[in-house]
Amino acid sequence: MQRLLIALLLLTSLSIEAQNNAFIAGEKLTFTASYNMSGLMTDLAQVTMETSEVKTSSATLLRLKGTATTYSKWDSFFKIRDLYESYVSPKTVTPYLYKREINEGGYYKYVKYNYNHKTRTVKSVLRKKSKNFESGFWDRNSTVTITAGTRDIMATLYQLRTLDIHKAPVGASDTFTVLFDNKETKFSFTMMGKETLNTALGKMQCYKLKLNVIGNDVLKGNSNFLWLSADQNKIPVFAKFKVAVGSGELRIKDVSGLKN
């Protein structure tokens, strides 16, 4: 399920300097995550994406929170409790702190990034569960050098929503960088045009974007797509993707707290 959520989150900028006019604190998006099991697309989990305001001693930030949770009937088969958080500037979606906690069928992984944009570095903590240590966990602390504009997965998706996508012609493509497991990974997307989809919220006109991951096996093949609503909110509506062990989908289920 980690890859199901990643597939939704891996798209970003047409212009790094874009200002946020697409979302505010209090927004909540709910999705149904499905996976192809023996040729049948089966609903396995709920994915939520929420925004909230967080005040620090020096600034007011937006907390971008994403969770993936298997439906109770699947917990005994493969229980999933995943969490993604990014604390960003409300205007530029520049990230300052990122946390990722993966808990899937007994596999556990925790990642924390503290960004220093002046020095273009990230202080990283990586924690995994291991049977080889008495404590059950091992930690790795490191400092990672990043390029300008590099973001984590959550900040990347929300940054995409701030951009003037309507100005991109069909066939236009771009590349960008996401920091994932302490490595900068290149992604590219291509504007495929507009499509009207039947959703749980009714018919919605959407931008269709095709995704390609460069030098990474997170996604497979040439059938990975994301549809964003063709309005000022630009919310993720539908995602279709293929991973090493099969294919899956994410479908919008409910929304609240939209800015526009």
- How far is it, in rounded angstroms, from Cα 190 to Cα 209? 6
Coil, strand or helix: which one is 75? helix
What is the reported pLDDT for 244? Answer: 62
Report d(CA 253, CA 241) in Å as an integer. Answer: 18
- Per-residue pLDDT, 70: 96
Residues whose CB falls within 8 Å of the CB of residue 198, separated by 6 or more in sequence, listed in order = none
Going residue by residue through the chain, which has 260 residues, state the pLDDT in tens, using 9 for 90 and above. 455 444 444 433 344 346 899 999 999 999 999 988 778 889 999 999 999 999 998 899 999 999 999 999 999 988 999 999 999 999 999 999 999 999 988 889 999 999 999 999 999 999 987 655 555 677 899 999 999 999 998 998 898 899 888 888 999 887 778 998 899 988 777 899 999 999 999 999 999 999 887 766 666 667 789 999 999 999 999 999 877 667 889 999 999 999 99
- Write down the pLDDT at residue 242: 79
- The overall pTM is greater than 0.95: no
Cα–Cα nearest to 181, from 220, 210, 230, 217 = 217
CA angle, residues 79, 82, 85, in degrees to nearest 5: 170
Q: Which pLDDT does position 38 carry in this prediction?
A: 77
Q: Which residues have CB under 8 Å from 40's CB, separation 6+?
A: none
Q: Domain 2-256 belongs to what topology?
A: YmcC-like fold (2.40.360)
Cα distance between residue 210 and residue 224, in whole Å: 6
Q: pLDDT tens across 189-224, in order?
A: 789 999 999 999 999 999 999 988 776 666 666 778
Query: What is the pLDDT at residue 40?
Result: 87
